[in-house]
Every structure is written in C-alpha cells, then in structure tokens.
Structure 1
C-alpha cells in the first residue's frame, strides 16, 4: 500500500537543505563518515575471521533441515532467553525491532540527501505504521533492560559501562528516528497527523506552530545524531562482546546436532602424539574459536554452574572470555609468521607465542573441577559448547603430559587391571547378585534382556541395594533377563570424561566384541552414566543395541499393569534429576510418573529441577577425585533438598544415590534426609 502525494507522511522533501552548498557538504561528510565506519567495521570483522580460520577444520554444515529447525527455535523463537520471561520479552522487542527498522535506515539517508526514498519503504503506509509500532516496542524493551540492570539486577548479570552505553546508544538511534520524522510532519502538514505513523505524528505536536527554520534545524540535529550513533555502533561492535549480534545466529546454526555432551573420538594411533587434546590456541577447531567471539558474557552459565554456585573455583564464563583475550594476543603473531616474510618478533611477542592453554590461560583446578553436567550449555542463549573444550584439555594432560592427580592415576590403573574403578578382583564381580539366582548369559542364550548394573551397583552396597530392588521388580513383572557376570566390565564413561580416550576406546571395543559374541540385543541399566554411554557413544564404535534406563522400564511395567503397588508409604519426597539422564537424554517424565502412582507419596519439586537440575557433583570424574567433605556441589544439593521440605531424596542414578547419601552423612543430616533409588521406592510399595 503506497500513500498518495496528498497524504504523504514520510516522503520528506528537504530541498531547502540539498539544493544549496550546505547540502552538498553534508552529503560529502555523511559518505566520508559512512565509508570510514564501514571500512573499519569490515576490516575488524575480516581480522577476526582470519583469527578463527587458524583453528583446525570441523564439519558443521551437514543436516541443514535439522540445523534450520534448531535455528528457528533458538534464534527466532528465543527459547533460552524466554526462561526469564520479562527480560525475554524485552530482548525480543529489541531484536525484532532492529530487523523491522533496518530498511528505514538507508531510506532515511536517501530521502534527506537525494529527495528520493527506497521503493515500498518511504511511502508504504503499512511499513510506516509497523515501524512506528516497533520503535515504541524497542524503547520499551530498552527501558526494561535498563531497569533490570539498575534496579533489579540478577546476581549473575554484571554491570559495566559498555553494556549500559550500548543500550543508551540503541535508545538514541530509535528515538532520534522518531523525532526526525516528527519534525518532517510538522514542516509539511503542521503536525498532529497520527496515520500512518502514530509515534511520529504524536511527536510532531511538539513542533507545531514553531518557525520552519527552527524545525529544520531540529530535524538536522536529530538526523545527524541518529547516524552518528549508528556509525559509533560500527566502531564498537567488532571490539566488544556485542559482536554476538552478528555471530550468534551463525553459531546457533553451526551448533552440534549430536546428543548433549557428545565427544569426538581420536585415532588411537595418534593418541600419544602432540595432537591428542589441546594446549595451543590453534589446536582447537575453528568453531571453538568462533564461539569465543560469540559469547555475550551475560553470565547465565555462571548462574547455572553448580560448581560456581557452590563456591568452587570453576566459572564457565571465563572459559570464553579468557580464550578470546588469548586469541587476540596470539593470532596476530601467528598471522605474521605465516605471511612468508622474514618477521622478527620482539621478546614480549615471543613470550606470548610460548604461552600454553593449560597453565597460562586456564589453571588445572579449573580444568579438573568441571562436573560435565551440561548446565552451562543448557543455559547459554547463543549455543556455546563448553564441555568439549575442557575434555580436549584433559586429554592433553592425560595422554600427552601424563600430568594428572594421583586419584585419577589410581582410577585408570584399577580399570586396566580389574575392569572396574574399585579395583576389585573379577571373581568378586557383581557381588550384589551373588545370591539372587540370576542367570548369567553364556553363548547365545535366549533371553529378552541383559541387566547391566554398572560398576557402582556392583561394588558399592548403597547402589547395590538399588540394583537388587530393580532385579526383584523385573522378576516380579515376569521379565526374562540375564546378567553378564564376569563379562561385565566398566563401560568406560568416566575414563573418557577424565581425558583417557585411549583407555575408553579399548574398553568399548572389548565390550562390543564380547557382547556381540554373547548375542546381546537389549540392555537394561540402573546407572545414568552407563545409560548415556551405551546408548549414545557405543554406536559410533559398532555397539548397536536397544538400551533402556530402569526408570523408563519401570514406568512402562506400571502402565502395562505388570507391577501394581498397593502398600501405603507416607513420605514427602523430592526427585533429583541425574544430569546424564535428564539434560543429556531428556528423561524427566517417567521417574515422576512412577512416584505419582505410589500410594502415600507426596512429591515436591526442588527449585532447580528437570532441565535446570543441580548436579550431584559426581560427574566428570569428581566422584573419584573429590573427597565427600570437599565436594561443595553435593553439599549444596543436600541443602536444597532440606529447603524443599522433603524427608526423602529419590534419584535414578547409582552415582547420585551413593554421593547424596554419603554427603548427608558427612553433614550429619542422615536423620533428616533418607536417600533412595526409584526402584527401592517402588519395591517398598509392593
């Protein structure tokens, strides 16, 4: 829809300005500033891209339809930002407002400098109406963001001059556009016209009955302030965290489509060489370098990180911030060296090139402190992937430097010697089922399923009680199953996340060979770590079986009527979502379905639950490297159970089960909190 010349609102005819020498000089000045700002912006952008290209190759363009779907949900739909509803609305107003206002910027320049607008923009009544509406929404969004920063600021959000200054700059851009258009209306029609540009029409009332020369001067001021603010953005964005405005959509599209926490394997033949893991900037992939520039430094990852929230020296936010700073120091020197010229580096520059990622950029406590729970990645609004970087650094420490804690060394030794991290002889394997009368699979037995209890259930009595309860429930439901007996070795999950990829791959290949020879088709496990590894990581190496977690199995048996709980147990329970079951595999519904059908059970949710669940502190090898008394994550989670008002903590993971009970005892809270597996609760109700 185009407005006729008689009711034109935005066909701004500033012949009084363009037709004289001042107008010509104004055009020259405008294009000088525009070209200078654009050249600087693209120069800085190209430099960043050259830095990023120093990283190793990586494939992130496959499966385009899946990527577009993820992009639509997380960029267009603002999924992660909407977790904070009010701020999410403000952010959406600003983002979509800029998209809508973008065509108006060149149109505003063309109308003033050349008396000619862009077709379907300057005289399009629908666009003018929508544009004014979005200017109002952007102003509202900026106001909301400023109030949030200045009055009701979340603890994780850090204020700085740059962030507040950019909000004020955006505010200036949209407000001056509306004011400029208001002065034009006042010049042409005397002001007061609300259609099709209601905001500009309302603002024009302030300039009614003013001399034309004064209105023209005001229009010039608003126009120049508007474009000077835009030019300022072109200088600020490439040098600040606000580069995410450009990079975040691409980073989201290139996000890994593998399961949460997926780890790229390395070739065993090269695992002892210098390329096992990373210790230099250029050892990371280009995508990992790109993420350092995508990070908004918002702090949501710190807010969700259980280690940081518990007071441990681990913060995911500096993982990107320090890395970006290191790239800015190192990459220009690498480009100098690659230029082919005989470049002599100063002593300070040589010192920068000698810097290692491990020790100089990140301390070892930081690298080993991560629980690999995935909370930071779940929270990140721009889809930065943190854990692969940490695993890559651990691989270097373990496989190249042989530099890791004594507890880790003992862990690896026990698995290599005995097939389990407890270091128990194989003839004592699966002692929890010694008197259960379970069939041990041999040859190609005709059994429906194999029960893979996992190391924790096999050698720790607390997790063993949960495995025994599950064993009894499966028998009661009439399931045909067997155990692996002495052929049940560790699945290798923790060894992999501790950085020992060589040991992991050896375990995996041995297990796959044995189990395929035994005719294994379906695996049931009560350990969330085993479940994630067998289900998501073994297939890459040829281990393709149906893998079922015991919470899903039991929920199905209850639905089918094969298990019928009747005993009333008067308990107030809260459920702890294991990271490797919930965030990694999306299993939230089934455990709660079980608890809801148990007679006498009152289920309370903790503040941090489901996808935002707080880790127990056992993951990433911490179960073996952190003493219970030093595991602040576990202590925090127990305190959250108390705060929820529950007397029983229920979980569905062997490691969570063990660590939560031990932590409650360490805090002398075992009388207040009883820790049980979901299978134990179901057995108590039978």
Structure 2
C-alpha cells in the first residue's frame, strides 16, 4: 500500500466515523424533539396497510408522479440514492487497493449493467431536477399589493409565483450536486479501470463507462490507480459530508426527508393510503378525544396554543417538509395574494419548534392558561435564544392571525404534498385554541357562532321555517314522523337548502327528481339543525359537539341508515365525522344518486343543453370525498356539446373561497378567490356553469357577476340542469 492509499484510507475512515457519530447523535436529538409532541393513539394500528402504503408511496412514487416529469426524475434519483450504495462500499475497497472490486459481483456483467443504468438515469434525473428548479426560480421583481385598499392589505409582496419562492434554495442545489458528484465519481473510477485494462467488462454491460474511458486512453496502471483512489475518497467524503451537514441542520427538511419521509408516510392519518382529508382530526387531550363534560380548560389544552401541543406526528410533519412548494402552488389563499402559504406555515412551525426545543427538553412548558410550569433551576442552563423563542406566542408571534384565518380548508395542500403533511388539521387545531381559549377570531365569526347556537343555522333564520321550501310542490314531502310507508333515504336538506333562496331551487329540483324516479324519501323538517361544519372548521369544537350530538340523537331515534345530501359540507360531516360521536350512516351526494337513476333508466333526459357547459368541483365533494365522476356523468347525459373542463379540475380544482367557514367572513386581503375561479369558468366560453354545492353556487355566481358576465353565464346546480332536461316544460 502506497502513501496515497494510506492517507486516503485514514481520511475515508475518519470522515466516516465522525459523520456517523454526528448523524446518530442528531437523529437521537431529532427523535427526542418529535417525542415532545402530544400523544396520538390513532397512528399505531393497521400495520400491514401502513407498510403497504408506505412502500407504494416511496418505492412506487405514487404521489410524486402526479407531477409526471418531476416525479419521474425524482424516482430515478431516489433509486440511484439507494441502489448505488454497494458502489460506496466498493469505494472503500478502492481506497485501500484500486484494483479491488466487490466480492462475487464486482465484475459480474449483469450487476455492472444494472449499476450502469441506475447511475446514468440517476445522473440524468439530477440534471432534469436542476434544470426544472432553474427554470422555476423566483424572480427578483416584486409585485405590490392590490391598489384598492392597499394600505389596509397585509398581503405579502409576491415574486414570480414560483413554488420555490422563499424555499431555501441552496439546500436543494447542494443535495443535487452531492448526488451528481457521487455518480460522477463512480463513472470516473470504472471508466479509468476500463481504459487501463484493469476491468474486463463487455461494452454492452458498461456502455457509459466504455464511452467515457476514451478520455483516459493511454493511462498507465499507476496513473489509473491514483485516479481511482482519489475518486473513491472523494465519493466517500461527499457522501458523508451530506450526513454531516444534516447533523448540523436539524431543520433541513429537504435533506432529512430522505429518512423521515418513510416514517411520516407510514404514520399518516389514513392507514389505507388516502390523504388526511374528509373528517378533521378530533380535538384531543392526552391522545384521547376531548370530553367537554370532564375537560378543564385551565389544565387541558383545547386545541393548540403552544407548539408542543401539536401531536408528535405534527412535529414529524414539520421535520419532513421538503420545501418543494407544491402545496403553495395550489393554495387558493396564496394564489390570491393572501399571507397564507401552507409551505411557509410548516416551515415557520418547524423553525419555532426546533429553536424552542432546548427549553422544552429542560422541562420548560406552559399550562393551558400560559403559566410557566418549570422551576428556575430547571431553566438555569437553557440558552437565551431558546428562552426568547419560548416567550413567543404561537399565533401572533410565530404565525400571523391573518395566515390562520385565510385558510378555506379546501385541502389542496394536503392533496398535493408528496410526504403526507396534514396542513388542514394543524390549522384547525390552532383555530380551536384561538376560539375556545383566547376568544380571538374574526368579528364575523362571532355572528356565525351566535346564530348556530341560538337558531341552529348560520343565517339566523327561524328554525320553524325549515320546511317552507316544500310549499308549492305538486307532491307531498313527508317527514320521518309523518311518512306512512318505509322510505329509502333521508333527504338531508341542510341550512343553505332550507334558507338560501338560490339553494332552495336546488332542494326543490332534487326532491322533484327523486319523486319522478320513484325514490321514497323523507325529511326531518324542523327536527333538522346545522351539522356543525362551520363551527368545527372555524375552531369552535364545543359548539360543533353540541350540534352534532343533537343531530346524532335525532337521526338514531328515527332509525336513519341512508342519507342523501345536496351540500358537500353536510355530506362530509354526516358521513365522515358523525361516526366519532356514534352516528354511522351511509351518506351519498345528490349527484351520485342522480347519476345512478339516470344510468338505470329511472330518469331519462329528453332535451339537450346548448351553449356550452362547464363544471366546478366543490372541494368538499371532490378532494375531501373523492366524488368526481357522478356529476360529470349526469352533465354528460344532457350537454349537447359535451362537458368543457376548466384547466384546474378534479383533484386540482380551485376553491370557490367559501370553505373553512370563510362563507361568513369578509375577504379583506388580496384579491377575491371566487373572482379568480369565476374568471376561469367564464374563459371556457360555456354559457352554463354547473356546481354541486350551495356555497359554490353563491360564490361562483357572485364572481361571474363581478367580472361582468352575469347576463351571459348562468350558474346552477347539477340537479337543476338535469331537471330541465328531464322535464323541459
């Protein structure tokens, strides 16, 4: 062994030992920080399902491949990152002796070919990701807030709209350069050996290395050995430098996600692989759903008021964020110049959690009322910056209230996140604390909650008028206590369907179509009250619980098993959340039932709709409940020219702006979400915009009027479109 090999060997193994030690220490530190989060007893079951889904999402890249080019490039890099590990082992052998190969498989042609393909495709993948990132760099040009009410607007200055805006770009470029360097080192070693005649590998097994070997033609054996040694030690050093950098940067999510993503995906809320949409995660205390009869707001955290109140999965979410910006690119708030970016929200929570961690690990903490629970002796050795971080309020100092209340809970962020971060749950958890403990929320929400509590509906309408929509129909609509025959479905009318003039037309259309098809149904009439959706998503879990328990008691007493609803928010709450309170029902949207009735011939469209037709996917019907095809099937049966899709549709549909209780709050920041969406609908050229949600109907209709197309474009529910075709008169 020459002096070069001795020095290289010492350096390689020393770097390895130091990096492994630092990385292991950092990993344990990260684990201790994640474990600071609140207990969560819902993440441990269904191990087989969880493992299978984790393998599908990681090895299969099922979520990454929703963005096809980026996903494909990332998959090749992922395979290279893992699949070329044996070549890192070989690098240690080459540092000791340049002629050494991996035992048994080192010069075996099939292995050489596989590693050659992995390396080449991984290198091309890195180049593709680098180019994509370069072409999507945020511009330096700033865009001022909207001119109207500009001083009042707190909307941040936008750059180019790039999803990488405010991501820490150097981290991504560093990692891409590291992986490319590892691949380049491997090809340098192999092509050098081929050029010097030290590796007898056929061209078909090592086409790239043979091609590159021309650059080293005429090289002596000694010269080749030197290059192989240097390349080997370089590969080892940059490989372990990556882990060294991670050890020094616990908040480097774009690097750490290569380890934590496996766990974050495994422990996702939905064990069957679905995104954390539909039902909200219930408010919990010490890992159990909160019981308001026994919970004490002075000792039990209602919602999240401190970062450690998040569940441990929340802290793992923050740790895993890759800053890819897919969530930001899809967020309706961010795209209309509001301060909310799901990416930046998670990044800020991560920075705060890790900066506060020394204080928490020393025993520091605050009770539900914000009083310090640790003794001065426990905090004596806590760094000053950690104490300063601990003094910050979560909502106010770390997260601006305008960020928190800009969310429509549409779920676009959760839908797009490749590592299964549960943004909506975290936002609502913080709202819960603001509402139930701090009594801090938008003024309009106070009116909403008062109406829900006193009248059982957001509009504050008289409860005894809930069945007034039935007046004037040419058939009788029975209630569950007056029906003289068995009924197939309970028709859940909903607050909008009973009290909003535009939505009442949808309610009457659905009832007429069900009667026409011979479907037996009944309603609760005055026995129905709000499902509690706006209360829960505005953070008032107590009010939601009160309303939901009342409804569950009514429904169970009536023997209800199947429900049809016109409002996706009602559908979601009844079908996905009432089970948390003992109410288990089969709930369908009216478009699902109507699609079945058309397909079975019980409803027959007899006239076609002219003038073009487009469809807006409601967030709580589409993303949250995966109902995409039925409304399109109904519309397809009546549209003379077929359905014209908006560019953003189905899973990527753009929110109308009404979700998350935003329907009852003023939209004071940035531009209006409904105008953004309505403009897209108008630009399809369709004269009819079909919707499947009363809130969407109101918001899109207002938006169409705002852009001056109210006389040219009609916004109506799918049921109304079908009724006009079935009964043209």
- Shorter chain as normaliser: what TM range? over 0.9
Equivalent residue in structure 2 for 1:231, among 228, 240, 248: 240
Equivalent residue in structure 2 for 1:291, among 313, 317, 336: 317
Equivalent residues in 2 for 1:59-138, closer than 5 Å: 59=41, 60-113=43-96, 117-138=101-122
Equivalent residue in structure 2 for 1:476, among 508, 516, 526: 516
How big is the shift at 1:671?
1.4
Query: Does the 8 Å contact 1:191/1:208 carry over to 2?
Result: no
Equivalent residues in 2 for 1:625-636, closer than 5 Å: 625-626=665-666, 632-636=672-676
Pick which of 439-448 and 227-236 moved more: 439-448
SS in 2 for 1:605: coil
With normalisation by structure 2, the TM-score equals: 0.87
Pick which of 555-564 and 182-191 moved more: 182-191
1:254 aligns with 2:267: yes
Q: Distance in 2 between matches of 1:121 and 1:561?
A: 65
Q: Distance in 2 between matches of 1:464 and 1:629?
A: 31
Equivalent residues in 2 for 1:569-584, closer than 5 Å: 569-584=609-624
SS in 1 for 2:333: helix
Q: Distance in 1 between matches of 2:454 and 2:346?
A: 38
Residues 223 and 488 (structure 1), Cα distance of their counterparts in 2 relative to 1, 3 Å cut: same
Query: Does the 8 Å contact 1:306/1:614 carry over to 2?
Result: yes
Pick which of 657-666 and 626-635 moved more: 626-635
What's the Cα RMSD here?
Answer: 2.3
Q: Distance in 2 between matches of 1:432 and 1:312?
A: 38
SS in 2 for 1:584: coil
Pick which of 670-679 and 39-48 moved more: 39-48
Q: Distance in 1 between matches of 2:71 and 2:329?
A: 16
Q: Distance in 2 between matches of 1:211 and 1:102?
A: 29
How big is the shift at 1:92?
1.1
Map Cα deviations across residues 364-388 of structure 1 (whole Å, 9 max, x no partner).
1111110001000111111111001
1:430 aligns with 2:467: yes
Going by fraction, where is helix more abundant, 1 or 2? 1
Query: Does the 8 Å contact 1:191/1:201 carry over to 2?
Result: no
With normalisation by structure 1, the TM-score equals: 0.93
Provide the residue aligned with 1:616 in structure 2. 656
Provide the residue aligned with 1:567 in structure 2. 607
SS in 1 for 2:654: coil
Equivalent residue in structure 1 for 2:37, among 52, 55, 60: 55
Equivalent residue in structure 2 for 1:502, among 542, 545, 563: 542
Q: Distance in 2 between matches of 1:345 and 1:209?
A: 63
Equivalent residue in structure 2 for 1:665, among 705, 718, 726: 705
Query: Does the 8 Å contact 1:575/1:605 carry over to 2?
Result: yes
Map Cα deviations across residues 534-586 of structure 1 (whole Å, 9 max, x no partner).
11111221112221210001001111111111123313111001111111111
Provide the residue aligned with 1:493 in structure 2. 533
Q: Distance in 2 between matches of 1:657 and 1:648?
A: 12
Equivalent residues in 2 for 1:353-502, closer than 5 Å: 353-436=390-473, 437-442=476-481, 446-502=486-542
Q: Distance in 2 between matches of 1:149 and 1:264?
A: 35
Equivalent residues in 2 for 1:153-168, closer than 5 Å: 155-158=162-165, 160-168=169-177
Residues 194 and 331 (structure 1), Cα distance of their counterparts in 2 relative to 1, 3 Å cut: same
Q: Distance in 1 between matches of 2:199 and 2:328?
A: 54
Pick which of 502-511 and 434-443 moved more: 434-443
Map Cα deviations across residues 77-109 of structure 1 (whole Å, 9 max, x no partner).
212221222222211111112221112211221
SS in 1 for 2:498: helix
1:275 aligns with 2:257: no
5+ residue gaps, structure 1, are: 1-17
SS in 2 for 1:569: coil
Pick which of 513-522 and 579-588 moved more: 513-522
Residues 211 and 481 (structure 1), Cα distance of their counterparts in 2 relative to 1, 3 Å cut: closer
SS in 2 for 1:350: helix
Pick which of 70-79 and 496-505 moved more: 70-79
Provide the residue aligned with 2:126 in structure 1. 142
Q: Distance in 2 between matches of 1:392 and 1:24?
A: 58
Q: Distance in 2 between matches of 1:417 and 1:503?
A: 11
Pick which of 593-602 and 405-414 moved more: 593-602
Q: Distance in 2 between matches of 1:210 and 1:450?
A: 84
Pick which of 52-61 and 450-459 moved more: 52-61
Query: Does the 8 Å contact 2:9/2:95 carry over to 1?
Result: no
Residues 486 and 629 (structure 1), Cα distance of their counterparts in 2 relative to 1, 3 Å cut: farther
Q: Distance in 2 between matches of 1:345 and 1:86?
A: 47
Query: Does the 8 Å contact 1:371/1:622 carry over to 2?
Result: yes
Q: Distance in 1 between matches of 2:79 and 2:384?
A: 49
Pick which of 221-230 and 133-142 moved more: 221-230
Provide the residue aligned with 2:142 in structure 1. none
Q: Distance in 1 between matches of 2:680 and 2:720?
A: 22
SS in 2 for 1:620: coil
Query: Does the 8 Å contact 1:103/1:121 carry over to 2?
Result: no
Residues 140 and 620 (structure 1), Cα distance of their counterparts in 2 relative to 1, 3 Å cut: same
Q: Distance in 1 between matches of 2:668 and 2:509?
A: 26
Equivalent residues in 2 for 1:32-43, closer than 5 Å: 32-43=14-25
Query: Does the 8 Å contact 1:125/1:196 carry over to 2?
Result: yes
SS in 1 for 2:612: strand
Pick which of 187-196 and 557-566 moved more: 187-196
Query: Does the 8 Å contact 2:682/2:704 carry over to 1?
Result: no
Residues 198 and 591 (structure 1), Cα distance of their counterparts in 2 relative to 1, 3 Å cut: same
1:350 aligns with 2:387: yes
How big is the shift at 1:210?
2.4
Equivalent residue in structure 2 for 1:318, among 332, 344, 350: 344
Query: Does the 8 Å contact 2:107/2:201 carry over to 1?
Result: no
Query: Does the 8 Å contact 2:355/2:389 carry over to 1?
Result: yes
How big is the shift at 1:201?
3.0
Provide the residue aligned with 2:630 in structure 1. 590
Q: Distance in 2 between matches of 1:362 and 1:152?
A: 27
How big is the shift at 1:263?
2.1
Pick which of 210-219 and 498-507 moved more: 210-219
Number of corresponding residues: 668
